[in-house]
Structure 1
């Protein structure tokens, strides 16, 4: 009992030291549910930029009875102060700043120690991985989780298109060469309401036709047919051979964070129903940096890819192929100064929205950007490109 009494005495002494008479101003935020608070002092301050000091904290109403927003939801927001307010609860006083964001649609009061002076560092809110690269030098200009392998959906087709270009360039094959598309699984894939877009109504198409369908319309069936053609056949056996060529090329480029199991970026659990499967995992898994390097090689070795990648819509073998790159001229997120002319979109439930963008702004080297699993792939790509140019990183 004596020991417990000592502990209780120490505890009470601790409270006295912590709060004191009149409190220690600003040492702790006031409990949002506390009663008996009041505004002691309000002072107008010169608008000053702040950003969150950590992921802790929240924005409250003036009397601190309602939590309006959690600061962790605004990792890259710059807040501008307009007032300094001293709130008192019991014997405790705390200093809060009235803040608002740049667009003035989020505002409230934040305990001063949850803020750090200065504008927020640039960042992408939604992309789980991203990178910006100088297409000429390969220099990394900005990155976020760039070395983490992730599912990349139809962005995978960039490797397939590279190997198609290589065969046309280095062998007797031409863009007019015939590709056999008679395999029943491929035809079913083209007709799929979920995975199909370019339908195989014939048993043969030219390399050029399927290349356009795979790049512009992101045709899954066209990508597999082209891969089988590169590997020398027209059946799932040659699809497996082609996937090996994809991994061989990745190894030659020393892409240590790249593994391929499909030619088009679909997951294997979806492809099996069409007669396709290969050894390995369920999905192609490539880091944002390695995706950028694949794009760099494709553009450098086969620049004609940009001639096709910037086409918004094209009729191929009687079918309309539509480019889903919404940074192209005339599209919702187009910005003329960025000069975006490629490169590839992608989506699956596993991979989320993925996008490889590229453009060459006047007076700068070409830029390559990659965003993976991004809910706002075009706005964040545009923001990333503008950040690079604004800060003269390229």
Structure 2
């Protein structure tokens, strides 16, 4: 539970979903909003319908956050996504192969992102020396640690768009500066890789940060990049440093959002080619999707505890409705709980909005394993094997 604390606090305090539910929205209308938001970006509408709650809730919240803080972000997403779809139409198999081959690299970047978030500190009260140091470290981590797999993917996608041959392994070993220059020269969205106001490359900012070619003079940051005739010096204010950090993150968020949208738009074709043992995602990644999906259906997680033998999830209702029907609804989340925890026995304790335990639902993981193997066993088989316990005091 402790490692998920930040996620649950964030959903409770920052997610718009509780506010929407309090002001007349229903789980059905929230799903409709998610579909409406992503509809212009999906080619496969059936996938959007299927994955809207299961996978896309946290991305929907994040996309609206991006639109609120970054100007013109929707056009940037459309422009990059159009490149992916053009590549798909040029060479379907090669485009899908890129996402399959890079899937483990993206998972590694996602794991690093959670470390980045968990180690985040409040920078506002730092002195300029410490402030500059922390921001430079963030810039270096964002550009190289969190984003290189996205740059590689975009270089390869743009090669296919231009009718060029690709070598995934060779591109993975390409230096950061060469990847960024390739995207500036050959992508329709070169501006994403040039940081205002100096219009220097993302990789140049990474070099400044990593090689410490900066110094503090009178509350300002003096930066130096390049060598010989190409050497460039410039001064950045405290506020300006944050603006440049924000632009680096903006680029990463655009590329990551497009990667996710395109990935979910083509998920069946991608997932059937991925070897599951290659992936080793941090639990937080799956838990964010899981907890966001639950909240979109009007449930908030009170507590979760699991090991290989048993998983127990306690949830409270955010809406006032027939507790019996809502309790049965909550039991449908047992499958997602199994996918998250891989526990042998699973149970969900459903609390009404009045904080009363009303229903507990239980099932063995063996039932889900049987359903996976035998496609004739579906929802009805699941319903036959769920155990319900009504709390007499409710």
| Class of the TM-score when normalised by the shorter of the 2 chains | under 0.3
* Larger strand percent: 1
Larger radius of gyration: 1
